[in-house]
Amino acid sequence: MPIHAAEVEAMGRSLLDLAMRLRREAAGTGEGDTGAGDTVASGPAPPPAGPPETNPALLRHAVIRLQAMRQRRLHNFGLALAGETAWDILLALYQALLAGRDLTFAQLCKESGAYPATIRRWLSVLAGLDLIDLPEAGSDPALLRARLTHKGELAMADCILGLLAEGGADSAEPLPA
């Protein structure tokens, strides 16, 4: 299966952004000099200290709508133009958490719409950022059951509530046909 330059370039940019953010966090700064003379914006806002006031039914509905929007984007534009693997993994794991279920590795690949090798790489990155818990599954990916950490759950709730407050994934607006 050929690798498309756009996919490699997007992944490279994502990894570079992540590396710069990790360096800033290790240095104890949120913004600053990358060492190359470029000032970079700070990474994502830290999750709130405690769980936000939530309506679980509203969150479940919003996550389902976000997944539907993502599937529509993927259907219309294909993986090369619509893929956001880290977000897709986090969204799938959050949806599973809200539904009170676990996802197998195969289900996570299907829900995220990415290749297994890509999912494995991003799972490692997300685990390194303490957004997911990745219990040791040995060499059998079928046994893998990634879950959001408390930090990941808070970050996803905060993000989705922010989207709702801004009008994204608004339940009053139907999906386009």
> Domain containing 94 — which CATH number?
1.10.10.10
Residue 172: inside a domain? no
Q: How far apart are CA 134 and CA 152, in angstroms?
A: 12
Which one, of 177, 171, 173, 121, lies nearest residue 146 by Cα?
Answer: 121
94 and 132 share one domain: yes
Q: How far apart are CA 72 and CA 142, in angstroms?
A: 28
Residue 77: inside a domain? yes
State the average pLDDT over residues 121-138.
86
Residue 171: inside a domain? no
142 and 67 share one domain: yes
Higher pLDDT: 138 or 109? It is 109
82 and 24 share one domain: no
- Domain of 81, in residue numbers: 48-165
39 and 52 share one domain: no
- pLDDT tens readout for residues 59-87: 888 888 887 877 777 676 666 656 688 88
Q: Is 175 helix (H, G, I), strand (E, B) or coil?
A: coil
Residue 155: inside a domain? yes
Whole-number pLDDT of residue 53: 62
Instruction: Work out the pLDDT band at 39, boundaries 50, 70, 90.
Output: very low
Higher pLDDT: 120 or 173? It is 120
66 and 148 share one domain: yes
Whole-number pLDDT of residue 3: 46
Number of domains in the chain: 2
Q: How far apart are CA 9 and CA 80, in angstroms?
A: 11
Instruction: Work out the pLDDT band at 149, boundaries 50, 70, 90.
Output: very high
66 and 118 share one domain: yes
Nearest-5° Cα angle at 84, 81 to 85: 125
Instruction: Work out the pLDDT band at 174, boundaries 50, 70, 90.
Output: very low
